[in-house]
Amino acid sequence: RMESLPEAVLIRILASIPAVDLVLVCRLVCCQWKNLVDGAALWILKCQQEGLTGAESQEDAENWQNFYFLSKRRKNLIKNPCGEEDLQHWGSVEHGGDGWKIEELPGDFGKEFPSEEVHKYFVTSYEWCRKAQVIDLRAEGYWEELMDTTQPKVVVKDWYAGRSDAGCLYELCVKLLSENEDVLAEYRSETVAIPEDNDANWTEISHTFSDYGPGVRFVRFEHGGQDTPFWKGWYGVRVTNSSVTVEP
């Protein structure tokens, strides 16, 4: 009989069950199972078994169940971050000058990207070019109670570079929005000015939202830029490998 098993043995048996079944089925079997599923020991074991307790883990995590689900669900929520699908998934597109263009790395007067997995980038023109994505957190699997109570970190990253023969400008603006798209938290970078005769190296910019309060349902990511010599064509800032992740 299962109830006669030592608790440590029962935890090991339960740890072999898929996480969703633990929460939706096993937790309802009896008080003992509910307490085990709600406790830390079971989820610490599952994290260990699935390699989620390495350097990225938080040994003092208050809720190991949330830590497990957030770690398993972690992915880049930005679609088409490197231009492999042209401008698909990007809305609110502003085509200043000759508009956005997608080019192959390293591009004229450019440098290779630090990661070999990135092959393309978006490039701006001689007037402001902007593009945005709005991420529906519930559609991505981040339920309301999680966002309101746990308030996991929302980590935003972007990469930008200029051509070595032209100066350019770059901006990033990210907003956490409510159900009605009210702004609950916002990060706006300074206007980054890259001078002419720069080294064309790629630079990462990042921001982490935390303790942002309840009600966050969407993330709006917007970036863009232009060149400064006002040359026809595509001499403005280059952007790629944008990311938004929800972290434990």
Q: Are residues 65 and 158 in the same domain?
A: no
pLDDT, position 190: 96
pLDDT, position 67: 86
Q: Are residues 66 and 114 in the same domain?
A: no
Q: Are residues 213 and 177 in the same domain?
A: yes
Q: What is the mean pLDDT of the chain?
A: 91
Bond into 106 cis (ω within 30): yes
Domain endpoint, select from 72, 100, 134: 72
Distance, CA of 164 to CA of 162 (rounded, Å)? 6
Q: Are residues 13 and 114 in the same domain?
A: no
With respect to residue 11, please indicate whether it lies within any of the assigned structural domains: yes
* Average pLDDT estimate for 66-71: 85
Q: Is 43 or 248 the better-scoring residue by pLDDT?
A: 43
User: Nearest CA to 173 among 209, 126, 123, 200?
Assistant: 209
Here the tokens at position 60 are 């003092």
pLDDT-derived band at 159, boundaries 50, 70, 90: very high
b/e burial code for range 8-26 (CB count within 10 A of at least 16 → b): eebbeebbeeebeebeeeb
Helix (H) or strand (E) holding 20: helix 19-24
pLDDT-derived band at 55, boundaries 50, 70, 90: very low
Q: Are residues 123 and 170 in the same domain?
A: yes
**What CATH number does the domain containing 64 carry?**
1.20.1280.50
Q: Are residues 226 and 145 in the same domain?
A: yes
Q: Are residues 112 and 186 in the same domain?
A: yes
pLDDT-derived band at 23, boundaries 50, 70, 90: confident
With respect to residue 133, please indicate whether it lies within any of the assigned structural domains: yes
pLDDT, position 50: 86
Distance of CA 8 to the CA centre of its chain: 37
Q: Of the given ranges (145-149, 201-205, 243-247), which has the lowest mean pLDDT?
A: 145-149
**220 is in which domain, residue-wise?**
91-246
* Average pLDDT estimate for 221-228: 98
Question: What single-letter DSSP state applies at residue 86?
Answer: T
The number of domains in the chain is 2
Secondary structure class of 56 (helix, strand, coil): coil
pLDDT-derived band at 101, boundaries 50, 70, 90: very high
pLDDT-derived band at 134, boundaries 50, 70, 90: very high
pLDDT-derived band at 195, boundaries 50, 70, 90: very high
One-letter amino acid identity for 120? K
Q: Kindly tell me if the per-residue pLDDT of 216 is higher than 80.
A: yes
